[in-house]
Amino acid sequence: MGNKSYRLDGLFSLKSPLSHISETVSNSSYLVQERVIQNDGSVADVFVYSGNAWRGQLRDLMARDLLDRLGDDNGPARVGLDTFSLLFSGGRIGGTQTTDIGQARRLRSALPSIALLGGGVGNQLLAGKARIGNCYPLCREASGILPASLRADAALVEYADCTQSKEHSRRDDKKIETINGYLLPAAAIEETPKKGKKAKADDDAPATDQMRIRMELLSPGVRLHTWISIETATEEELGCLVAALKLFSDAPHIGGQSARGYGLVDLDYALTDRTTGAVVEHFVTVADGACMLSPEASEALAAYGSHVGALKETAIAPNGGVLALLEGAA
C-alpha cells in the first residue's frame, strides 16, 4: 500500500470525572477553558482538553510499545538519556540548527513514531506528519466548532450541565490515633510538615488536621470530540498509531488524577482515507478496557509489527542497528 493521507475523528466518552487543570487559586483548582464565539456574537467559556496533552500521551505509548517490542525475556530495550528524551519527550535541540537530510530520512524510515510526531535530533528539528487537535465537549456552546455531524447531539446539552465541583481532604496521617502506633516514638512526636511540604492527599476519610481542596471537574457522561490528521503516511506509520491506541486500552485514562480513578474513558475513532475518500467506521474502539480493531486497523498493526520485527533483528547486530542510529543521532 502506498503512502496515504488520513483523518481520524473520534469521541472520548467520560466514564468518570475528568481533571484537566488550568490554574489553582488558594485551595481551588479550575478546568482549562477557551472562549468560543457564538452564532449571535456572544462569547462563552467552554472546556478544552489540550491536543498537546493527548499528543504527549500518544508519544509515550508509542515509545513504550517500541521498546517493549525491541526487548527480550529480560524486559524492554533500554536506551540512553538522549534517546529516551527523543522517544518520550520529542528530544531537544542544541547549538546552531542544521539539516542532515540523510539522517532524517533514516530515522523517519526506521521509527514510525518519529515520522508521525517529529522531534529534535542533534541540531535539527524533524517535523511530524500528524496533527492532533484540541478536544471540545459536545455541548451547545461548542457546536459551532464541532463537525457538522455532531452538532445536533451537541445542541441537546448545555455546558453548565457538563461540570461539577468536588472536595477532597489532605490530612496528616501521623496524628491519626488508629495508625500512628506504627511509627517509632521519635517520629510520632514530629511536628506537622513544614511550610512548602505537601501532606498526604490520597484519602478522603475524616481526620484531624485536614485541609479541604476543591476541584472543578468535567462530569461523567460528557463526550469530547477528538481528531488526528496524518499526511502521506505509510501503512507502518498508521499501524504505529494503532499500536499506541491498543496499549492505551490497558489503562484508558486521560487528564490528571488517574490514581483517584479520574479520566476513565471509552474511545471510538473513525478513519477517513483522504486519498480515496473511503470511510472506516469504528476503526479503533476502546470500550470497558478492551480494544477492538477493524480489519483495516489490524492490517496496519500487523505491518507495523513486521517492521519492528525487522528492526529488532538489526538491533542485535554488531553495529547495534536502529539503537546505534538513535544513540548517534540524539
3-state helix, strand, coil in the chain (%, to 5): 35, 30, 35
Structure-model confidence comparison of residues 79 and 177, the more confident one: 79
Question: Is 50 in a helix, a strand, or coil?
Answer: coil
d(CA 195, CA 2): 60
Mean pLDDT of 111-126: 83
d(CA 102, CA 105): 5
Mean pLDDT of 124-147: 92
* pLDDT, tens digit (0-9, with 9 covering 90-100), for 197-217: 444 444 444 444 566 777 789
Confidence class for position 174, pLDDT limits 50, 70, 90: low
* Predicted local distance difference test score (pLDDT) of residue 135: 96
d(CA 260, CA 167): 12
* Predicted local distance difference test score (pLDDT) of residue 201: 45
* pLDDT, tens digit (0-9, with 9 covering 90-100), for 278-327: 999 999 999 998 999 999 999 999 999 999 988 877 654 444 556 665 65
d(CA 158, CA 148): 18
Structure-model confidence comparison of residues 18 and 108, the more confident one: 18
Structure-model confidence comparison of residues 24 and 304, the more confident one: 304
Q: Which three cell numbers stand for residue 2?
A: 502506498
Comparing CA positions, the residue from 295, 296, 305 lying closest to residue 247 is 305
Percentage with pLDDT > 70 across the chain:
77
* Predicted local distance difference test score (pLDDT) of residue 197: 46
